[in-house]
Each structure stands twice: as structure tokens, then as C-alpha cells.
Structure 1
Amino acid sequence: MKAVKLTSKYLFNEIPDDEEKIDKFGHKACKISLAKKWQFVVPETVFLSGGLVKEIFEKKNIPSEILSHLKNKLIAVRPSPVADQFKKNGSFLYIGLDDQSFDTLKHSVGVKSALKIYLSFLRMFALTVYNLDLENCDELKELLESLKTSEQVFVESSLCKISRIKQLISLETGSDFPKNTSEQLIEVINSIYKKWISPTQRILRDVSGRKSDELIPVFLQEMHFGLKNKPVEYFKVKNFDERTGKLGFQYFRSHNRIEKSFFDLVSEEEVGSAPKVNKLQNLIESLTKKVKSPLEVSFLVEEDTLLLIGLKEIALPQKAFIEFVVSSVQEKIIEKEEGLLLINPEYLDIFLHPSVSEEIKPRAALLGVPASPGAASGKVAMSTNKVIEYNSTETDAILIKSETISDDINAMSLSQGVLTVKGGMTSHAAVIARGMGIPCIVGVRNVVFKEHEKIIMLEDGNIISEGDDVTIDGSTGAIYLEKVKLRPPEITGTFNTLLKWADEFCDIQIRANADTVEEAKVALFYEVDGIGLCRTEHMFTDSNRINLVRQMILTTSNEERGSIIEKLLPIQKEDFIELFKEMSNLPVTIRLLDPPLHEFLPNSQQEIQKTAKIMAVTQQQLSDRIKDLSEFNPMLGTRGVRLGVMVPEIYDMQVQAIFLAAIEVFKKYQIVVNPEIMIPLISANKEVELVRDSIEKVFLQLNEDSSVDLKYKLGVMVETPRAALRAGDIAQSCDFLSFGTNDLTQMTYGLSRDDSNRFMREYLEKELFSSDPFKTIDVEGVGELLKIAVQRARNTNSKIVTGLCGEHGGDPSSISFCRSVGFEYISCSPYRVPIARLAAAQSRIRNAN
């Protein structure tokens, strides 16, 4: 029968395509309707909208057209929530069964089968509609047992006993047992709706992001029973292996040929004849091609006819889902492009980092902002010394701080994970942890951190003390006050196959933000196209170097500063040599020193005392000097290119180290290095010209003295709105523009990236922001600046290369935007490279479609 739209409240057999069809008729109903449209055999079906279900509940009346359509039929009532994750209510079966229809039924399927169905109906109706367990009533129990006798006895007494069971149910409930289809259907819908509007279900919808007053649609299906000698068989078939997730067939058969009973796993041979199995497999393959998802398909077999009665998409664990998609592509069930689009790039984290085992579901004590993926367990350490102490005894540590600074990098590298009470997605802890590939959670709210007492007080009265066992999940932001079983990461053939496919469609370079050889090795393992950002300040944080840097900053003597810089030169040179060797001929973009100087200065009394001794000055003199150098807003103070202007010797030393390293790598290893030097925090072209002239002076001198034909590229990091607006001027003085969207977002919004977590959740909940702008590029504001900058830069320099090196480089939505703007590359944390490769491929495929 074709779909007839008698009213928008109910439809027969098919639901017309409509933007609101799922909201009106629910997820399961729309799936059944699709199966019908795809020419699969489906029982006669009536779809009831959520609005009609509410109306039936309130008015206790079923539209006559529906009753007429279902006349003389037994029906199944199946709830169809709008969101598929709600599975509170199962199906209600055999609605319409009474003494008259029972008499018809027993002639079709035999007395014993009819009795079994009638008893099943009475049990189900009593339990699900009236919340009455028949086994708890002695007389009812006795009657049920007596009905399990021979067919001859049943013919004589069954109707009397069934009548008595109905009487007893009526006595227990205080109302007459419904006599016909209309009355039974009203009772069932009444039961479904009452459960749906219960406080528990409302809360579940609320926490799942659904409307608490959302309605519950249902659909009604004609039931089939077969013949006496050929009863129907109920099957469920899954199109995946439950253990691995890979494409395959698993068959389950009802052990007593009743739909709502236990299903046993059976082999192909137990399913039946080869033609029957082939018919089943063809059906499932066809559905998989259509739905492109792991499925559980419920159907009945009546003689030689397969009738589809249920179609459910199964949400597999991330790794198993990827296995399903890749195997489906390999078996040519799903096209390669379709398969790539099915996988959320974030799912790849499961291959790259440890994760909380899916076998257990521990209760999270706290939630923070998930800033670097993966999970880790260990003992709480609230200082660098404590981390070192744990490390010396091979005890895993979780570093917990109010916020981290440069001094904490060593402790972070020795820790299994990092948690900071303050901060956001682009705070110091978040950025460094992502580069290191360790889990990190920032911005933990509703706690009191007493750093001197080494405790954190939770809202519920619990206390986290130094030395306690904790587990953090940087993928979800969950914090557990215990050691939790973790699943180790595992790079598999499936992972490599998926990325190989992605590379066939990826048309933008994927580079990595890498400051050390270790990070460069990780990036190369994930087949990166180069280094898009090497932050040289991180090379100075080692305990053997930090004191030299502090002396360089704190001294008032130019002569002494020059002497210290000379000591730093060979250190920087060796860093670059190792990096260039590792990256071979791939591009390496080196950002000259950028952060405010206060990040390098000692801040604890112990560190001040130690530095004063090294510098041969008093603690008071050093404290006064630190005070002189302090700024009200250091992130907008003496940092970036301003350092190169104020203390040009620093940039000269770094540039010299870069060129000397490139020359030596060529001479010793025959590796041609064409370094890319980047000037940070530019606002005007005059700044570029000033630094460019200094770089060129160093370059000409070294190139003249060496036998190597050295080349380099000069670029700027566009981080200020003014630089974006003046990109046309700036592009005339450089070879590339790299957009630092962390600072650009911060300055465009006038929003501190380290403090935004205080109100970000409220802004997102109240839909003031559609997403966290430090996680996903704000297309309307920051994105507009990027478009303007790229267009103006290309108007004045057609050869200019553009890229992005902020943390947005690892965000799938932001990558898609970068492609649309026309960037040649994006750069992200090494462990985000696989995610970026897949996201870039998906973006191209979507655009092509």
C-alpha cells in the first residue's frame, strides 16, 4: 500500500520525506519507512506521531481510520523515540488478542502455539501495562502451570482458565481487563506515555541535550504467526562481529518462536538451507549499503517470505566502528569516500593514546576542560620536586598545579598527565601537554586549591591530597579519585589503511608543531609534511639553560649580556642541527623567541635565592630587578618582535645558530636545509623590514664565509588584528604568512585564553557562542580577518605561502575552513597529525560532492 497522508498525525506504511519527519514520528519509525521505500518486505504499519500519542493519552480515544485499518489483526506496538539512544520501552505484542481472535488463531497455528501466544500476551500485558507479575499470585501461578498440559485437556478448559486469569488481573488492578483492540491499545499507549513523562525520563532527556518535554511517537505493526505445520521464525542478524567490529554476519534465533523471548546465537547451518542463508545475507548487505552503519535487523520468516520488523543502528565503540567501516570498504559494501566521511576524526585518538577501559564505567568525581587526549593514572604531585621524587622511585605521577609556567616543563615531561585548576584550551599546560602527547585537563571548576597545604577541596567535601591516587581522562575531562583500568594504545593495520586512504584525498600540507627531536620523531612517524612551528623558547627551559637565559634577561650590563648570548649560541646551534637531521629535507619553520620575559624569571623564593647566588648579587637586588621588568599585561608587552627590537642580539644569535646548523648539516650529512625563519607578533611592515635587514646581514656574512649555497625563507606570524588587516603591506617583505590563531582569537575577542574557562560554559549553554573560539575557529570574526589577510597578501605578492599554526590546526572544523580560505598548509600537535590528515580528506570529499 502506498503512503496516504490522511493527516499529519498518523500515516500508513510510509513516511514522506520531510525535514520534521524524525521529530514527528521518531527514529525507528523513519528507519522502517525507509526499508519499505527501498522495496524490502515490511508488515502492514501505522505510524503515530508524538502529538497523537499525547492526544490518545489525554482523550482515551483511537481514530476510527486506524482501528479500521487494523481490523481483525493482532498488532505490535513499538515506541519510536526521536533520539535513538532512549531504549526504556520495548515492544508491546499481540494487542487485539481476545477470546474471539484466539479462536481464529488456534485454527491457524494449532492449540498449543495459540495457547503459548495467549499466555505470553497475558504475562506481558500484566507486567508492562499494570506492573503486575503473575508469578507472585498463587492462584495465577497454579493456573499458569495447569495450562501447560496436553492439547486435549486444554481444548476443554483453557478458555475458562484464561477467563479466570483475566478476572484475577482485574481484581489486582481494580479495573476490567480491556476487551478489544481499542481498549488494549489505549491502555498500552497510556503506559508508554506515563513512563515517558516520568521524572527519570525527563532528567535523562535533559542531560542528553534533548528537550525534557519531547513527545514519544509509536508505530503499530501487523503480527504474523504462520501455519500449524510451518510456524514463523524470529531472527535477529547483526552485520558485524561483536568482538572486533569487523563486517560479518551473526545470527540469533528465538528459541521458542515468540518474538519477545530469548535469542540464541546460531550458526549458518542452524539458520536453515543455503538459499535461506543467502537470502538473509543479501538482505543485510543491501541494508548495509543503504544505511552504512552497524545494524541489528529483526525480521520474521513466514514460509519463504522475509518480513522486516525492526532496523536498529548500533553504536559501536570507536575502535570497533572504525574496524567496521574499513572492512566494509574493503568488501566493497561501502565506497571509500563514503567510508572516510563516516568516521569522526576524533575517534583516531583511541589508537594514539591510552584510554579508560570500556569494560568499566567508573564515576567521575570532577570534570574539567579536556585539553590533551588520553588517560593516565598516578599519584598526585603538586610540585616539581615531588614529581622528581616519584620519578626516582619509578612511581607514576599526575602533576596538579593552579597553572603551569616555563619552569614546569621538566616536571610535565616526567609526569603521566597534567591537571591545572585554571586555564583553557590554549593555556600553557594545554599547548605543552599536546606537544608532549600526555593527557591534560584544565579549568577545573568548583574546587578550592590550597597549594601551600597541598590539597584540593571538592564541592562535595572530598579532599585530594598530594600522594593520593587519581586518574585523568584528557579526552573527556573526567577526573577519578582512584586508579582506573586503562587500555593501552595500539597502532593497527586498520589505522594505517585508513590514513593511506585519507592521503589519496588530502590536498593541504599537514605539518606539526614540534620543538624537540622527540616531538619531531613522533611527527615523522605519522608521516608529517614538515614542521610548521618550532617554538625556540621551549629549548631554553631545560635546567642547564634556564639560568643562562635568566642572567641574560636580568643583567644590566650590555657586555655581560653579550657574553651570555655567546654561550647560548652553540647550545641553540646543536638544537637546530639535531632537528634538521631528523627532518631531513622537509621544511622546518623556526619561530624566533616570542614569550614575555617574565615567563623565564624565577618566581619562588628558592629560585630567586639560587639565581642570585649564580649572578653574584643579593636577593634584594635580584628581586628589585625582577620588579623593574614586571609588566601590567605581559602578554601584550615586551614579547615577540618587540624583543628583537629591544634586544636585537637575541634574534641575531638565534638566526646565526640556524644558519650555522644548516651549513653543518649539509657538510656532514649532505642534507640540504632551507630553513624558514618566522618573526612573531608582527603588527606593521616596518617591524618586518627592521628584523629582515638584521637577518640578511647575518646571512650574507655566513654565506660568504662558507662553501654552501645557503637559502632561507622569511615569514611572519600573523597574530594581531592589525597584522591581518595590513597583510598586503607585510606580504611584500616576506615569503610566507603563518597565522597564529591562538593569539589572533584572543586579541580579536579581547578575551584571555587562560581565563575564558570561567565563563565559557555559560556562554555555550546560553548559545552566546556556538563553540569555544579557542577550539574551533570563529568563522564570522576571526575567519573574516583570515580571509581579508590572505586576499590582501596575494594581491601584493602572488607567490606568498599561507598557513596556520595555532591549536586550531588540529580541529576538523577549522581545517575545513582553512582549505576554503586557500591555505597551503596547517600545523598542529604531532599527535593530532593523523586526525588532521583524515579531516582534510573529508573536507575535500564533501566539497567535491
Structure 2
Amino acid sequence: MTQYVYRFGGGVSDGGNGDKNLLGGKGANLDGMASIGLPVPPGFTISTPMCTVYYEQGGVFPDSLRAEVANGIAHIEGITGKKFGVAADPLLVSVRSGARASMPGMMDTVLNLGLNDDTVDGLAAISGDARFAWDSYRRFIQMYSDVVLELDHGRFEEALEIAKEDRGYTLDTEMTADDWRTLVAEYKALVVELWDGKQFPQDVHDQLWGAIGAVFGSWQSERAKVYRRLNDIPAEWGTAVNVQAMVFGNMGDTSATGVAFTRDPAKGDNAYYGEFLINAQGEDVVAGIRTPQYLTRAARETAGAKPLSMEEAMPEVYGQLARVFDLLERHYRDMQDIEFTVERGKLWMLQTRAGKRTAKAALKIAVDMANEGLITREEAILRVDPQALDQLLHPTLDPNAARDVLTKGLPASPGAASGKVVFDADTAEKANAAGESVILVRVETSPEDIHGMHAARGILTARGGMTSHAAVVARGMGRPCVSGAGTLSIIAKEKLFRIGSREVREGDIITIDGATGEVMLGAVPTVQPELAGDFGTLMVWADEGRRLKVRTNAETPLDCRTARDFGAEGIGLCRTEHMFFDAARITAVRQMILAEDEAGRRIALDKLLPEQRRDFVEIFEVMAGLPCTIRLLDPPLHEFLPHEESEFAEVAQAAGLDVETLKRRAAELHEFNPMLGHRGCRLGVTYPEIYEMQARAIFEAAVLVAEKSGDAPIPEVMIPLVATRRELELMKAVVDKAAQTVFAEQGRTIEYLVGTMIELPRAALRAAEIAEVGEFFSFGTNDLTQTTLGVSRDDAGRFLTTYVEKGIYAKDPFVSIDVEGVGELISLAAERGRSTRPDIKLGICGEHGGDPASIAFCESVGLDYVSASPYRVPIARLAAAQAALLKK
């Protein structure tokens, strides 16, 4: 019989051996903490395979599981001495999710399970605190009604607020035992009203199975699906469920609960970081319902806060916690995110996991741990998510710029962002889709806001601490976040917020600084980031470990300079058509296109030659000594044509023709499907003088820069959209002739290559014969994906998300290479190309060149380089190093 339940605690372990795939992250770490002797409340884990069984059987559990769960409950009873459902000394348990990958706040939890009308009195008697018991019961009813019964959570919150208002209270802690008892009766009546006349379940075993089903069910909640999609977590992994004896942080002033990190997750400093609350349960800290206190005295003093830190208020327990921190970090060899509870002076560890961290913190922690000897340099490279570097590569607020500061909250996630204020997640998502930058402003965020948080440039909340939902999720996403801005008064119905006498409405622009906690009116200028220190150190280590070269896609001097600063080793794609759209030369381009014959085209091309030469000189000066792949004119000619009457008149005058003749010529050039029409090398075959001019400009510029700098660039002239050997043969002859002409005129030769972009399935299939002519292949994965899948990248957004959700494609094939289809063509082309030209240079230059998963594929195929946009060059460098290390 398959085993699904694994016990932990009290010296018992059922052999899960810390396997996250089996026990989930939380279950594996609970078992791990118990195995090294830490104080972990006993419990058991229902393993991840049961999640699949649960869904396959339509939400019905097998009978064998019921026997295993009963054995698990008996295990907890045996260690604690308490009995589940027995009023005299009731056992209460928590029921929590635990996927193998951390998904903070995305799935459901039920606390205090086992309370009913009888056991609440037993809890009051055994604890000696009736107020605590009835507070625990109302929390349980409220949470169970939300998570399991799926009743309107707002109605319970409203009842609580009315109860406090009627009694003149501000805080929950002012409520007495009788007040909670009265509210419990109101809650139970609410359940009857909202749950079709049914009573709140009193049988503790019914409660337990309802909670287990709800936690497994939350794996398929919309917020969990969105989080998995954003973080590439496979749906088939499923979640485990952890059932564990409750310990209570709300049993008076000697009890507490908290969340902590062994290092600063925002900056990476080797200092304890966290928050706690005296006389509270765990959700009070993370939900932002109460403002938490700092863990350490240093953090409290830095923040200028008055309430005592845990180090000051509970020094003995804090000392125990500090020792646990050190033990856990040495054991797991990574920064840990920890949840703990103090019950009447006794410390209990509820969870540990590798902590979410900002990119800056990830770099510092990885480098520091390598320097401390805790991990190797290779492990340090693998510890940093390449995509997370994006947080570091963009501008931050100019420290010298004027700032109209509205208020200041907690610096919950670093970075800065400006955008229009929006007050709900759906509006944020719609605005982002329309190309607008927005700041999501909420009283506090919840897991249901995940899609809006992802769409927003930054998040601002009125409530919550440094470990609130908003802070943790924002840090994981790389979004700036300011939380706990207490002076912020949000009036959601009127779509505005007030700070004192000042009012900000939806659509107004604000700026938030996640490094300082400042909230400013209007947009604040930015400055470029400093990429030295830990970033530079890790990049040096990464470069030592990678095989793939990393180039950039760039066609302006600024982009080239940016890319070189980020470590680019050349240009993998320079799109020459972008130069043709310049306002100063578009008229000559149109004159060339609309000309009736070669003589007319050459007149226009003579005007373009010096402009094109200057373009290449500016690029080669930045890239001197490095290879530069330059793609000759690729797009269909109709893209350059005039549309307005005034534009036709301007071109007609320049060409010496009448407007009607030009319009007729434009009509002749019209194509129904231009992306598969007269473009790429087909232009060069039809009008070789165009490619001749571009080749001449390239070689004249290269010779000029070589003479001026003494360091010649290495032009790699790329012929686009080749499908046959003969096309490339004809175009290479044009390029070679231009090169020899320039070299003869200038009295100097330079090294160059002629190759092609593989972006058609036929070219991939016929790569062996094409390689007989071409000296390099650059895989244009944007068009190769379009032509292989028969899908337009510009139009596919309407349905590709659905395709990914339904498992047709694992990821958007325009974001990450479709390995089974496009990837097989690339592998085939590489193999066949090498069969006739063993030293052929191979790379990719589509958008996939900055995608870590695609880079790993390129490493597996043995390509020579990837090419990425300037700001993704460091991402590609790190991803290439990781791919090489993992391949070993």
C-alpha cells in the first residue's frame, strides 16, 4: 500500500529524508529541524502525490489515507499528552500547505482546528485564560469559514469592527473573554445565514478533513495558478499538507510570535532581520493587522521606534532564537526565512525555508557565503536567479532631484518606480496591458492581488510590516514596495487617498522609493545604477565558469556602450533598417524604394551611403576589436512608404516625379502578407544595389575605425531570410565584391565573415549545403518561431496565455524556446552545418538570447554565443555560467 503520511517530532521520522519532492518544502524542513534537535511541535505531512490523487478522484480521499491520518493524530496525542476532540485537555492543530517550491501566501492555512463549543471550555480551564480560549475560537471560526466553507470573509471582519466600535475599543486586545464569547455566537449565526442554514461543524474530525481538502484545493486557486505561471512552477508538482500541534503566541505577555530572516533579505547584510508581536498569533504579523515590533535592538534604534525589540523585551528567548538562527544557516547553507512562536516563555520553531530576497541581497549573500567558506564559488553562481538581476540593471532615483514627499512608510522592497495611482488589482492589470505605468495602492495586499502586483511598477500599502504579504511578494517579484505608510487614508469608493490635507486621486502620478520608504507626488528623475562590488565579483566568477560568449542586440552607440559596460563581447545583431527610419534620411529611403529603375535607386542610395557609413563608424568605435554581426536590410519595403498626402508630395519633389506616379508605385508594392513576402535576401536578389551600398558602408567604416583606433572591428555581414544555398551564394558575391573594392581603394584589408540568419525551417533543414557558403549561422529565433509554429508574434498574445494554461506549450514560445519544435530545428541545423563546415560560428540573436532557459538549451546544443538586449547582457552571462556548471 502506498504511504502518504510521514510523521515528525518527538524523535519520530517516517523516512521522508527531507525529500522536498515528496514532503514539500515545509514538510521537508519541519522533518529536518526535528532531526537536528530543534523544538518543533509534533505533526505529520500528507505527501504531494496525494494532491494528484485528490484531484484525479474528484476531491475524494482514499480510505487508506483516513487510517494513516488517524495514526498521525495518535502520534501527536502521544507526544503532547492532549486528546483530539476531548474537552478535558483538547489537542488543537494547524493545517498548512507546503509545495516543494515556496509560494508565500498563495495557498490556504487553518489554525486552532479542534475547537468547538465543548473544547473551548477545556482550553480555557487548562490554560487558565478564558479570554485566550474564546479569542482562539473566534479566530478559528473566522478562518475556517473563509478557507473551508468559502463564506464572505468581509462579513466576519465587519462584525468584529462593529463589536469593537460598540464597546469603544480600538484594538482587538481590548476585547474581554465575554466580548469574544458574544462575538463567537454572532459568528456562528453568520455561518447559519451564509451557509444555507447549516451549523458550524462541531465534530473535530469533520473539521480536519474539511481543512485538508481545502488546503489541497487551494493548489488550484486562481492566485496559486497566477503565482505558478509567473514563477515557472509546474502544476503537476502539487502541494503537501502539514498537520501540526498548535502552540500559542497569544497566551499573555510571556508569549509571542514572529517572522525572521537569518540575514537582511533586502540588503543582504549579515544581521538578523525580523519582526515579532507579543500576545499574538502568526497571521497577526504577516497580515499587517497589528504593527509589529523589531527583532533586534539595533533595528529598532535605526528605525527610531519606541516599542521594545524582542532582544530587549525577551532577552533569554531571543538568545535561544539567535543560536537557532546560526544552527539553521550552517545546516541548510543558505539564508533562512523562519517562523517561530513563544508559548509562555518556551520557543517553538514552526517553519524554516530558503528566504526570498532581493537581487541585491542575493548577490551579497552568495558572495559573502562563498567568502565565508559556507558554500563554493560555483554554488554562489547557482544561488542567484539570473532574471532577478533585472532589479539591479535599471535606473534608481536621482538623489539630487527635488522630491515632494507626501509621507514615509517602511522600505519593504528596494528600487524606485513612478506611475499612475490605481486602487485595485484588476485596474492595475488593465492599465499595464494598455502600456501605462501604475502604482498599486492598497490598505494591505492579499493573495488575490497577485496579478495586479505583477502588473504594477510598484506597491504602496497603508498597513503591514517588513514581512507582510506585500513586502514578501514584492521582493520576490523585484517590485519596489513601501508598506505600513500609516498616515495614508484610502477612500477606495472615491478612488483617492489622503495624507493630512493633501489628496491624491486615481490617475495622479506618484513615485515610491523602496529603499527609503518615501512616497512622493509626481515623477522623480532617475540615475544609472552602480554595478560594482558584489555584482562585479559574481560576474567575474560567472565569466570564469561559462563557455558561451555573450553579445548584444544593438544599433545605436548608446546601446552599444551600455552593453559593453554590462560585459557584452560584441554585437550579435545590428538591425540596419532601424537606421533608415531616421527623419533625416527617410525621404531618401522612400525615393530609393519608389524609383522605377536601378539608376533611380542608385541616386537615392548615393545619398544614404555617407549616412549609413557614419552609423557604422559610431558603432565600430564603441565595439573596436570585437565581432559585430550586421544584418542587411530585412523588413518589407512597404514599412518605409509614405501614408499621408504631405509625405507623398515631399517624396515626389525629391524624386522629380509627380504624386500620382508615386502612388501607383506604392500600390504596386502592396503585399497581403508582407512578413512572408518581398523582404530579407529577396530584396537583395531583386535589388542587389541595396546590399551593395550597405556592404560598402560597413567596410569603409571598419577601415576608418581600424586606422583611427588601431583596433579593427570584425564585421560579420548577415544575409537575412535565406532559404536556399543559391540565395546566400548570390548575396555573398555582392558583399565580397564590395569588400574587395573598398580594400583596394583604401589600401588596407580587414578580417570579415559573411553568413546568414537561420529563420526559416527550410534553411534549418538544408543547413549542410548553406554552410558550404555561409561562414556563420545566427538563429533568428523570433522569426524561426513564427515560421515553425505558423503563429504571428504580434497577434498571438490573444491566445498564447490560454495555450500555456492548458498545457499546449510549457511556456510562451516567444519568451522561452520551444525546445521540442524550434529547438529541434536549431539542433538539426547546427549538426548539419558543422558536417560541411566544422568551424562554423553558431549563435542566436532573437529575444530568447536573454532568457535563462533558452540559454541553457543553447549550451546543450553547443552554440558559440547568445545575443541579448543591452540590459539583459548580465542576465545572459550569469545564465550561461549556470548552464555550463549544471551541464558538468
Q: TM-score, normalised on structure 2?
A: 0.68
Cα shift at 1:313: 5.5
Pairing 1:191-590 to 2, within 5 Å after superposition:
192=211, 204-205=223-224, 208=227, 217-221=241-245, 223=247, 237-241=260-264, 244-250=267-273, 255=278, 264-267=293-296, 270=312, 277=319, 280-281=322-323, 283-287=325-329, 289-290=331-332, 292-298=334-340, 300=342, 307-311=348-352, 314-316=355-357, 319-353=360-394, 357=417, 362-363=423-424, 364-365=426-427, 367=429, 490-492=529-531, 493-590=533-630
CA–CA separation in structure 1 for the residues paired with 2:525 and 2:596: 52
Q: Does 1:713 align with 2:753?
A: yes
- Tell me whether 88-97 or 640-649 shows the greater mean CA deviation: 88-97
CA–CA separation in structure 2 for the residues paired with 1:807 and 1:350: 19
Cα shift at 1:215: 8.9
Cα shift at 1:236: 5.1
1:81 is paired with a residue of what secondary structure?
strand
Cα shift at 1:271: 7.3
1:31 to 29, 36, 56: 29
2:866 is paired with a residue of what secondary structure?
strand
Contact 1:718 1:724 in 2 (8 A): yes
Q: What corresponds to 1:437 in structure 2?
A: none
**Residue 201 to residue 704, structure 1, CA distance change in 2 (3 Å):** closer
Q: Does 1:810 align with 2:850?
A: yes
Q: What corresponds to 1:70 in structure 2?
A: 77
Deviations for 1:62-95, whole angstroms, at most 9, x for unmatched residues?
9477347515336451221245424654632896
Q: What corresponds to 1:596 in structure 2?
A: 636
Contact 1:375 1:472 in 2 (8 A): no
CA-based RMSD of the aligned residues comes to: 5.0
Cα shift at 1:568: 1.9
CA–CA separation in structure 2 for the residues paired with 1:770 and 1:809: 18
CA–CA separation in structure 2 for the residues paired with 1:9 and 1:607: 75
CA–CA separation in structure 2 for the residues paired with 1:65 and 1:703: 83
Deviations for 1:649-693, whole angstroms, at most 9, x for unmatched residues?
122222222222222222233222332111111122222222222
Cα shift at 1:209: 5.8
Q: Does 1:676 align with 2:716?
A: yes
Q: What corresponds to 2:42 in structure 1?
A: 44
Cα shift at 1:471: 11
CA–CA separation in structure 2 for the residues paired with 1:575 and 1:638: 25
2:770 is paired with a residue of what secondary structure?
helix
**Residue 609 to residue 23, structure 1, CA distance change in 2 (3 Å):** same
Deviations for 1:575-627, whole angstroms, at most 9, x for unmatched residues?
22221111111111112222211111112333223222322322221110111
**Residue 284 to residue 122, structure 1, CA distance change in 2 (3 Å):** farther
CA–CA separation in structure 2 for the residues paired with 1:833 and 1:232: 50
2:777 is paired with a residue of what secondary structure?
strand
Contact 2:41 2:349 in 1 (8 A): yes
Q: What corresponds to 2:468 in structure 1?
A: none
**Residue 535 to residue 97, structure 1, CA distance change in 2 (3 Å):** same
Contact 2:18 2:32 in 1 (8 A): no
Q: Which amino acid aligns with 2:4?
A: S
Query: Over alpha carbons, which structure has the higher Rg?
Result: 1
- Tell me whether 495-504 or 273-282 shows the greater mean CA deviation: 273-282
Q: Does 1:657 align with 2:680?
A: no
Q: What corresponds to 2:136 in structure 1?
A: 124
Pairing 1:602-641 to 2, within 5 Å after superposition:
602-641=642-681
Q: Which amino acid aligns with 1:309?
A: L
Contact 2:765 2:825 in 1 (8 A): yes
Contact 1:353 1:373 in 2 (8 A): no
CA–CA separation in structure 1 for the residues paired with 2:68 and 2:698: 83
Contact 2:16 2:23 in 1 (8 A): no
Cα shift at 1:823: 0.7
Contact 1:289 1:333 in 2 (8 A): no
1:638 is paired with a residue of what secondary structure?
coil
Cα shift at 1:496: 3.2
Q: TM-score, normalised on structure 1?
A: 0.71
**Residue 630 to residue 288, structure 1, CA distance change in 2 (3 Å):** farther
Q: Which amino acid aligns with 1:265?
A: Y
Q: Which amino acid aligns with 1:679?
A: I
CA–CA separation in structure 1 for the residues paired with 2:649 and 2:256: 83
2:340 is paired with a residue of what secondary structure?
strand
Q: What corresponds to 1:382 in structure 2?
A: none
Identity %: 32
Contact 1:376 1:472 in 2 (8 A): no
Cα shift at 1:630: 2.0
CA–CA separation in structure 2 for the residues paired with 1:754 and 1:568: 30
Q: What corresponds to 1:827 in structure 2?
A: 867
Q: Which amino acid aligns with 2:683?
A: L
- Tell me whether 741-750 or 694-703 shows the greater mean CA deviation: 694-703
2:244 is paired with a residue of what secondary structure?
strand
1:80 is paired with a residue of what secondary structure?
strand
Deviations for 1:5-51, whole angstroms, at most 9, x for unmatched residues?
99635635366566998798765344312322344342333446789
2:208 to 157, 168, 189: 189
Q: Does 1:744 align with 2:784?
A: yes
Cα shift at 1:633: 2.5
Cα shift at 1:239: 1.5
Q: What corresponds to 2:128 in structure 1?
A: 115
Q: Which amino acid aligns with 2:128?
A: L
Q: Does 1:79 align with 2:95?
A: yes
CA–CA separation in structure 2 for the residues paired with 1:56 and 1:691: 69
Q: Which amino acid aligns with 1:651?
A: Y
Contact 1:715 1:735 in 2 (8 A): yes
1:755 to 770, 795, 800: 795
Deviations for 1:272-331, whole angstroms, at most 9, x for unmatched residues?
77997387345445346517354023154999x864233355544555555554554454
**Residue 169 to residue 365, structure 1, CA distance change in 2 (3 Å):** closer
Contact 1:79 1:216 in 2 (8 A): no
CA–CA separation in structure 1 for the residues paired with 2:780 and 2:682: 17
Cα shift at 1:819: 0.9
Contact 1:531 1:827 in 2 (8 A): yes
CA–CA separation in structure 2 for the residues paired with 1:805 and 1:833: 12
Deviations for 1:205-237, whole angstroms, at most 9, x for unmatched residues?
56556999x998341327599x99x97886654
**Residue 192 to residue 301, structure 1, CA distance change in 2 (3 Å):** closer
1:220 is paired with a residue of what secondary structure?
strand
CA–CA separation in structure 1 for the residues paired with 2:548 and 2:649: 50
1:711 is paired with a residue of what secondary structure?
coil
Which runs of 5 or more residues in structure 1 are unaligned?
106-113, 143-147, 149-160, 176-181, 378-416, 418-467, 474-481
CA–CA separation in structure 1 for the residues paired with 2:60 and 2:780: 54
How many residues were matched structurally? 709
2:816 is paired with a residue of what secondary structure?
coil
Contact 1:738 1:804 in 2 (8 A): yes
